[in-house]
Amino acid sequence: MASVTLNKIAKVYPNGFKAVHDIDFKINDGEFVVLVGPSGCAKSTLLRMVAGLESITSGELKIGDKVVNRAPPKDRGAAMVFQNYALYPHMKVRENLAFGLKLQGLPKDEVASRVLDAAKLLEIETLLDRFPRQLSGGQSQRVAVGRAIVKKPQVFLFDEPLSNLDAKLRASMRVRITELHQQLKAAGLPCTVIYVTHDQVEAMTMGERICVLKEGRIQQFDTPSMLYNQPANTFVASFIGSPEMNILDAHLSVNGSDRTVTLLGGSSRLPETKLSVHGTELPIKLGLRPENVLVNASDERDVLWIDCEISHIEYMGSEVFAYFRVGDATITSRLPASQAALVSALKRGDKARIGLQLLHSHLFDAETGVNLNSTH
């Protein structure tokens, strides 16, 4: 009942800057959707428009079946968790949680029981009589989530709620929030979540679907695995996944069903895939995930072997990232720790041989960056 539908939503700020360009999407009831993108891509703007804190220049915003373009925030059934928590400093935690409910005019015992339920869920019962300044960052964050939960909203809005926390706490809060969403769903109170982050790891681990934004435009709106395996364009391809996908200049020759790519001085026939290409000779961008770059391994089918120099190596514990130089291009390889021996002996500038598993490559248009795979 509380889906969120954006229909050609646009935002022009008073200074004339167009931050959001005709965005369309539909978030289903109970879905966990992440808006992700680099800084300044209008994630917050979009979220604040849904919340009602920012006016909508044009388009139609629906929550449930109601058009809420002009509805004040409190009538939208949404609750928001702010990046810096925005707790009321002069109220105790208990009052912070109860404030919205009191304004709604709920009876006292109802308010008290809801506050207590939320506090139990988030394990902040012992903090109820403290002031916000007496809380740590992580505790403040849970209180901020609690303030949203007590209202039993139809839609939860999160604006980078974890970005002020240290890495460890962030990981545990990530799990907590996803669990909370599952818990509420299991309890028969599904709530729609729109979660904004600039961190692709957060996006990939939390989102049921992810909306990748760039400069106020949607790049791709899909499940995490689709984003990873079938990125719509070079932007999504390099934004999702760490280390970044290798994107190399290449040349494609089409001759009937035969396709040959030439790159970095080598060439190889491509396996059969459906490509939407026009013409027979064209420059392309070839994307290859670091895990599809082999090092000094035995020959394999559809692997293009290239001589290169090693640039540097990063040890990550369970895996190793190795960076190679071929002419002007840098190619990253991701190896399991068991293969670390292959590169650990190498010094900067040493010769190496890497194998590109072109079977797994993504081909993009050289100019527009659009994925040439015809499923898109």
Ligand X SMILES: Nc1ncnc2c1ncn2[C@@H]1O[C@H](COP(=O)(O)OP(=O)(O)OP(=O)(O)O)[C@@H](O)[C@H]1O
Tell me: does residue 74 bind another protein (CB under 8 A). yes
- The reply on whether position 334 binds ligand X by CB under 6 A is no
Which residues of the shown chain bind Mg ion in the complex (CB under 5 A)?
A: 44
HSE of 137 in the Cβ direction (CA atoms, 13 Å)? 13
Site for another protein in 201-220 (CB under 8 A): none
Site map (CB under 8 A) of another protein, residues 255-284, x = contact: ------------------------------
Q: How far apart are CA 169 and CA 162, in angstroms?
A: 8
Q: Which of 3, 7, 69, 164 binds another protein (CB under 8 A)?
A: 164
Interface pick for ligand X out of 4, 42, 81, 162 (rule CB under 6 A): 42
Rg of the chain's alpha carbons, rounded to an integer? Answer: 25
298 binds ligand X (CB under 6 A): no
Question: Which of 31, 32, 34, 44 is close enough to bind ligand X by CB under 6 A?
Answer: 44
Q: What sections of 80-223 are H helices per DSSP?
A: 93-104, 108-122, 137-149, 167-186, 200-206
CA–CA distances in Å: residue 83 to residues 161, 196, 233, 364? 5, 10, 30, 36
Under rule CB under 8 A, residue 25 binds another protein: no
* Run of H or E residues at 214: strand 209-214
Q: Does 55 bind ligand X (CB under 6 A)?
A: no
d(CA 262, CA 65): 53
Residue 233: DSSP 8-state: B
For residue 79, the partner it binds in another protein, Mg ion, ligand X, none, with Cβ less than 5 to 8 A by kind, is another protein
Q: Which of 64, 100, 138, 243 binds another protein (CB under 8 A)?
A: 100
What long-range pairs does 181-190 form, CB within 8 A, spacing at least 24?
A: 181/32, 183/121, 185/30, 189/152, 190/29, 190/30
Residues that bind ligand X (CB under 6 A): 13, 15, 17, 19, 39-45, 198
Residues that bind another protein (CB under 8 A): 51-53, 72-74, 78-80, 82, 84, 86-90, 99-100, 103-104, 131-133, 135, 137, 140, 147, 151, 164
